[in-house]
A and B are shown apart, each in its own frame.
Chain A
Amino acid sequence: MNVTLSDTITLSVQLFALFNVAALAAVSLVWLERRFLGRLQGRPGPNRVGPLGLLQPIADAIKLMSKEDVAPGSSQRLLFYAAPILVFVPAFVVWLTFPLARDVVVRNMDMGLFFFVAISVLSIVGLVLAGWSSNSKYAILGGFRAAAQLVSYEIPIITMILIIGMLSDSLDFVKVVDAQATIPFIAVVPLAFVIFLIAGLAEVGRTPFDIYFAESEVVGGPFVEYSGAHWAIFFLAEYVNTFVIGILGALLFLGGWRWPFGADLPQVASVALLMGKAYFIVLIIFWIRGTYPRMRIDQLMAMAWKWLIPLSFVLFLAAAFQLKFEWPWWVLTILSLVILVVPVIVQSRKQRNPALELAARYAANAIVVQAKPRPAPAVEDAPVVTPAAEGTSV
């Protein structure tokens, strides 16, 4: 038991710096997401405050802080105000074990991967508490949904982290990165990266999985009664969590600061390499957000329990056998690619919806008819289109 005062002061300074890094990363993501989504949707995005709109997140923060902080009269005040902090603090605490380069880490833990799993789950409590203490129907529905969704997607994430721990024979982040000096784990277990990314998206509630605060259904879910600075804390926590998924993906699957160079780069270059990989993953997350529609809750739960969990355990067994019987590493690659093909085939068969096919045929006919009108019916087996085919109207 040997924690001295100078240790404490050093730690506090380090953690304060880390806090600023996390907050800065989150703020940069706010800007990046809005600009990137704007680009995806063919509009400029925020471009008025500062060059390229870079100061927009700061303007947002000032606006949110100067908003009146309203709480419903029927809420449980203590829990209502504690909930945002309970969501944010675990999102920040996990940062202390992330190595940004070999020695750029506050505390490198022997069981860093386990620490991440143990701490990150805690923010679910905050979300449920926010929903419950608001004493609003939308909030409590959102809280239940958050609990159901987040615990379901926790299992695949834990299993994927465990597979990485097995492959690198350690739960220490630095050793995990060292194990990927020549071959990153994304090449060894591609399926694990896919499952990790999907479950990670669900864990931070990014768009295809944002059913628990879906505006069109539960108008903000657990956050519906929050305003001003308390709402801003939830917002910040969401972006910090998104970046955590980016960093974690870079450390566990993309080789951290080592791959593709093998040897260690100088410290600054190492941090830049890791951050570049993290931002790359984050951009994939934003790209998915800009592309896919929101999933319904039944689809969401089915995806977790019928696809991700069985697949992740099959992959876990495959990794265990590969290690136990010392098969070459590419056996695992081939196995995981084969397993990856199964859901694609099954889902593409399931999606052969007769109504959709009919609609597609109508659409195809309409285009053909507009291009070159013909006197005779264009298609025999689609009689409904016949009047259109004669050139009257489309």
Chain B
Amino acid sequence: MPVEGYAVNWAAVVIAAAVGVAGMGAMLLGSFLLAPRRPSEAKAIAYESGIKPTPLAWTQFTVRYYIFAILFLIFDVEAVFLFPWALVFLDTAAYVFYAMIMFIGILLFGVAYAWRKGVLEWR
């Protein structure tokens, strides 16, 4: 495909994002015109079931979120390899097919290992 095609496609993406932002901007403008503004100290307090909140909510959190994020990263990188492969594996040499099967096998083994280690349990 010529370069022009890609440029036009991505111009469309940029314009679509701009239209989306503009649409939301129109809504926010409508709200700006319609909505009352009566700020008070009580309204500016973050909601915490009626209790006065601590100044900062950015506290420690469980490490499990990190572990799942790392597991996701592995699969997401794999998807980057899989997309081109999925389109060409029928037309190329047989080893291309078996190499990817082995790769997926290794990743599935990784999930099995994480499962065995108890990483997938949310305790």
Chain A residues within 8 Å of B, Cβ to Cβ: 1-3, 7-8, 11-12, 15-16, 18-19, 23, 62, 64-75, 84-85, 88-89, 92-93, 95-96, 106-107, 109-111, 114, 117, 119, 132, 134-141, 144, 147-148, 151-152, 154-155, 158-159, 162, 165-166, 169-171, 219, 224-225, 228-230, 232-233, 297-298, 301-302, 305-306, 309-310, 313, 316-317, 320, 323-324
Contact = CB atoms under 8 A, between A and B. Distances in A.
Nearest to A85: B24
B120 A305 contact: yes
Chain B contact surface mostly: helix
7 contacts: A8-B15, A70-B44, A74-B44, A151-B76, A229-B28, A302-B122, A313-B107
A228 B36 CA distance: 11
Contacts of B87: 165-166, 169-171
B63 to A, nearest CB: 11
Contact of A147 (B20, B38, B65): B65
Interface of B: 1, 3-4, 7-9, 11-13, 15-17, 19-21, 23-24, 27-28, 30-31, 34-39, 41, 43-49, 53, 55-59, 61, 64-65, 68-69, 71-72, 75-76, 79, 82-83, 86-87, 89-90, 97, 100-101, 104, 107-108, 111, 115, 120-123
B120 A301 contact: yes
A89 B20 contact: yes
A93 B83 contact: no
Given A93-B13, A135-B57, A72 B90 contact: no
Nearest to B100: A320
A229 B35 contact: yes
B120 A165 contact: no
A89 B37 contact: no
A89 B45 contact: no
Given A2-B4, A72-B44, A309-B111, A135 B58 contact: yes
Given A151-B68, A155-B75, A305-B111, A3 B56 contact: no
Contact of A65 (B34, B61, B100): B34
Given A8-B11, A65-B27, A65-B35, A171 B83 contact: yes
A232 B27 contact: yes
A136 B57 contact: yes
Contact of A3 (B8, B36, B58): B8
Contact of B72 (A12, A154, A298): A154
B53 to A, nearest CB: 7
A324 B90 contact: yes
Contacts of B61: 140-141, 144
Query: What 10 A-B pairs have minimum CB-CB distances, sorted nearest first?
Result: A229-B31, A73-B44, A298-B122, A136-B46, A151-B72, A92-B20, A72-B46, A89-B20, A2-B4, A66-B34
Contacts of A301: 68, 120, 122
A137 B59 contact: yes
Contact of A16 (B19, B30, B111, B121): B19
B86 A165 contact: yes
A309 to B, nearest CB: 7
A152 B68 contact: yes
A170 B83 CA distance: 10
A306 B121 CA distance: 10
Nearest to B3: A1
A297 B58 contact: no
A316 B4 CA distance: 34
B60 to A, nearest CB: 11
